[in-house]
Structure 1
Amino acid sequence: MKATIVLIANNEAENYGKKLMLEAHKAGNLGFEMARLPQHVSLKQPFSIPDLVQFEEFFDQFAKDIKPVAVKFKEVTIHPSKVLGYPSGCMSISAVKSVELTDIQNNLFWRLEERFGRCPAEHDDDYVFHMTIAIGGAPYVNYEKAFIEMKKKDYQKAFVFDRLGLLYYDDDSIKPGTYFCYKVAEI
């Protein structure tokens, strides 16, 4: 099993992200796989956890120690992705790497290692903060088609992320239908 901790968007950002999801779908027939999760900015990519009960305890304590954070977005990006087990794409809105986001992430990494030992995940060293609006559901060529339309928009907006989410992955290969937002905490 895997898990991760994410910053969850306030209602304004959630609605914005869902609107972009629909627009991207209409432009490229991308589907709505991303609708399975709330709009969020990950603090770490999914990683193996030893026990959900222990990890939930960790999550609860971590949530008590952080505050809401404003996230500024920059631009739409796409890249090929096989995260769901088949070739497809991922469309995201990249975020400015702020001191606040970096501090929360560094604190999470330090506390995870202190409690559970090494918890490696993809992109631990080169993670780019972002909010995903589409993943999987279509060939990459559809993502390229949608990107042509979506890049015409202005994404320079800021939103408050005022909740923390615990995402749970029952299948280590992250197949569709095997993951969801298990728990949410106000921060």
Structure 2
Amino acid sequence: MKATIAYLADASTENYGKQLMLSAHKISGTGFEAARLPLHVSLKQPFIIPGLKEMESFFDEFAKGLGPVEFVFDSLQIYKSNVFGYDSGCLSLAVRQERKLMEIQNNLFLRLEKHFGECPADHDKDYSFHMTIAIGGTPFQEYGRAYEEMRRLDYTKRAVFDRLGLFYYDSDEIKQGTYFCYKTVELEEKG
């Protein structure tokens, strides 16, 4: 089993992302797999956990130290993806790399290692913060078609993330239907 921790979008940002998700689908049939999870910015990619109960306790403690954050989206991105076992694509909004976000991620990595030992995950060293709006569902060339039409828009937008989510993966391989947002915590302003 695996888990990950992510900032979850507030209602306004969730609505914005879902509008983009629908636009991509209408252009090229990308589907709604990205809607399986709340729209989010991951702090770490899925990693193996010893047990859900222990991970939940860690998550609750980690969340206590965080407040809502504001990120800035700055562009639409396209990637090839075979996360579901077939060649497809991913459309996401790039999040401006901000020092505060990197510090939160580094703090999470340190605390995970202290609590669980090594917790390796894909892209631990080269992760680019983003919010996925479409993944899987159609061949990559269809993603290219959606990207070409949608990339002309201005994506520079401030977005608020006011909750933290604990995602649970029932399988060590990420397969459709084996993961969900197990728990959310509303983050309170720190001051």
Same fold by TM (over 0.5)?
A: yes
Q: In structure 2, what is the Cα distance between the partners aligned to 1:16 and 1:174? A: 26
SS in structure 2 of the partner of residue 31 of structure 1: coil
Q: In structure 2, what is the Cα distance between the partners aligned to 1:140 and 1:113? A: 36
Map 1:97-112; keep pairs closer than 5 Å: 97-112=97-112
Conserved? CA contact 1:68–1:163, under 8 Å = yes
Q: In structure 1, what is the Cα distance between the partners aligned to 2:139 and 2:90? A: 10
The residue aligned with 1:6 is: 6
Q: In structure 2, what is the Cα distance between the partners aligned to 1:120 and 1:26? A: 37
Map 1:85-164; keep pairs closer than 5 Å: 85-164=85-164
Aligned-pair CA distance for 1:172: 1.4
Q: In structure 1, what is the Cα distance between the partners aligned to 2:82 and 2:48? A: 18
Q: In structure 2, what is the Cα distance between the partners aligned to 1:92 and 1:172? A: 24
Aligned AA (2:66): I
Aligned-pair CA distance for 1:83: 1.0
Deviations 1:148-173 (A, max 9, x none): 11101110001111100000111111
Q: C-alpha root-mean-square deviation of aligned residues, in Å?
A: 0.6
Q: In structure 1, what is the Cα distance between the partners aligned to 2:44 and 2:176? A: 19
Q: In structure 2, what is the Cα distance between the partners aligned to 1:163 and 1:94? A: 19
How many aligned positions are there?
187
User: Is it true that 1:77 corresponds to 2:74 in the alignment?
Assistant: no
Aligned-pair CA distance for 1:99: 1.5
User: Is it true that 1:186 corresponds to 2:186 in the alignment?
Assistant: yes
Q: In structure 1, what is the Cα distance between the partners aligned to 2:74 and 2:61? A: 31
Structure 1 regions of 5+ residues with no counterpart? none
Structure 2 regions of 5+ residues with no counterpart? none
Runs of 4+ in structure 1 over 6 Å off = none
User: TM-score, normalized by length of structure 2?
Assistant: 0.97
Q: In structure 1, what is the Cα distance between the partners aligned to 2:85 and 2:171? A: 11
User: TM-score, normalized by length of structure 1?
Assistant: 0.99
Aligned-pair CA distance for 1:65: 0.7
Aligned-pair CA distance for 1:89: 0.6
Aligned AA (1:179): Y
Deviations 1:29-64 (A, max 9, x none): 100000101000000001111110000000000010
SS in structure 2 of the partner of residue 123 of structure 1: coil
Q: In structure 1, what is the Cα distance between the partners aligned to 2:142 and 2:48? A: 32
The residue aligned with 2:54 is: 54
Task: Report sequence identity in percent.
Answer: 59
Conserved? CA contact 1:85–1:173, under 8 Å = no
The residue aligned with 2:67 is: 67
